[in-house]
Amino acid sequence: MALFTENPAEISEAFQSISHLLLENKQRLTVYHTSFESFLINQHEFQEQEITVKRQIKNWLEKSNFEDLKWAELRKLEYFLGNPEPILQINR
């Protein structure tokens, strides 16, 4: 099982250990090479971390005062996490 940490020191240390494999452009990080990105995406740990991170974002968003962001993203997060109802209830 993958480990999710909120400890800033551990996050910084982990980031520094892979920073040579990342590119920063236009305020976002990308993986240096597509074959490495493909390798990462296909790892079980990546999928576990993605679910964990999206749950954390969903919990934060539900408690936040960013109503526009909630409207734009919360339904997508719910859908990703296995609950299609909120997105299906959008009134067209």
Structure confidence by residue, pLDDT tens digits, 61-88 = 999 999 999 999 999 999 999 999 998 8
Q: Confirm whether pTM is higher than 0.75.
A: no
User: Is there a single domain that holds both residue 51 and residue 10?
Assistant: no
Residue 1 pLDDT exceeds 60: no
Do 52 and 86 lie in a common domain? Answer: yes
Range of the structural domain that residue 13 is part of = 1-42
Pair (38, 55) in one structural domain = no
Contact, 31 vs 38, CB < 8 A?
A: no
52 and 23, same domain (yes or no)? no
Q: Are residues 56 and 33 in the same domain?
A: no
| DSSP code of residue 2 | -
Pull the structure tokens for residue 50: 């993605």
Name the band, by pLDDT with cuts 50, 70 and 90, for residue 40: confident
Using left for φ > 0, alpha for ψ between -120 and 50, and beta otherwise, residue 47 falls in: alpha
